């Protein structure tokens, strides 16, 4: 018993009592120099789209939903799509600094209806978006369901 206790004491002293050796591994710590520059001194902060403007654009597109849904009604009434049609259309929208949709493109249309696409694009182009500091590109999706 004494030998086992003595062995543990010696083992403990051998592990904790000696000076730690220096760690020779390198660490991946990155130091950031707050005074460093990329060489480009152009201030682009004035051309960034403020979050409030992005939210306003989304709200305007949301408000257009009832008008856009009438596009499906019109297409079904013209028998270009069957009653009970349902689907989703995703648009790619580019808004110019003057607040006009300079480009509206259908990225995806599960109903695959050219008359519906043309109507929806026309309705989105009618929206008066806010004035922006620079061109803004976004996507937006409308869901459709024609009641039978």
Give the DSSP per-residue string, the chain. -HHHHHHHHHHHHHHHSSPPPPP-PPP-PPPP-TT---S-----GGGSPPHHHHHHHHHHHHHTHHHHHHHHHHHHHTTSS-TT-EEEEEEEEEE-TTS-EEEEEEEEETT--HHHHHHHHHHHHT--PPP-SS-EEEEEEEEEE---
Residue 39 pLDDT greater than 70, yes or no:
no
Contact of 60 with 129, CB cutoff 8 Å: yes
CA distance linking residue 133 with residue 146, whole number of Å = 39
Residue 105 lies in a domain: yes
Residue 31 lies in a domain: no
Quote the percentage of the chain above a pLDDT of 90: 64
Q: What is the mean pLDDT of residues 125-142?
A: 96
pLDDT of residue 9: 42
Residue 144 pLDDT greater than 80, yes or no:
yes
CATH of the domain at 131: 3.30.2420.10
Q: What's the farthest any 2 CA atoms get from each other in the chain?
A: 100
pLDDT of residue 73: 93
Residue 18 lies in a domain: no
Residue 87: which domain range?
49-145
Structural domain count of the chain:
1
pTM: 0.67
Q: Which residues pair with 87 in a beta bridge?
A: 144
Token couple for 21: 């050796």
Q: What is the pLDDT of residues 60-107, one digit of tens each?
A: 999 999 999 999 999 999 999 999 999 999 999 999 999 999 999 999
Residue 26 lies in a domain: no
Residue 86 lies in a domain: yes
66 CB contacts (<8 Å, ≥6 apart)? none
Residue 24 pLDDT greater than 60, yes or no:
no
């Amino acid at each position: 018993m004494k030998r086992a206790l003595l062995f543990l004491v010696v083992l403990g002293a051998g592990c904790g009592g000696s000076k730690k050796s220096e760690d020779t591994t390198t660490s991946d710590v990155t130091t950031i120099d707050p005074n460093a520059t990329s060489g480009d001194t152009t201030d682009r902060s004035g051309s960034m789209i403020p979050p409030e403007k992005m939210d306003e654009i989304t709200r305007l597109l949301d408000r257009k939903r009832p008008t856009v849904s009438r596009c499906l009604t019109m297409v079904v009434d013209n028998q270009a799509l069957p009653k009970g049609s349902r689907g989703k259309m995703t648009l790619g929208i580019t808004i110019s600094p003057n607040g006009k949709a300079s480009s509206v493109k259908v990225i995806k249309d599960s109903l695959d209806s050219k008359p519906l696409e043309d109507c929806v694009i026309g309705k989105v182009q009618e929206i008066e978006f806010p004035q922006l500091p620079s061109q803004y590109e976004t996507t937006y999706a409308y869901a459709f369901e024609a009641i039978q």
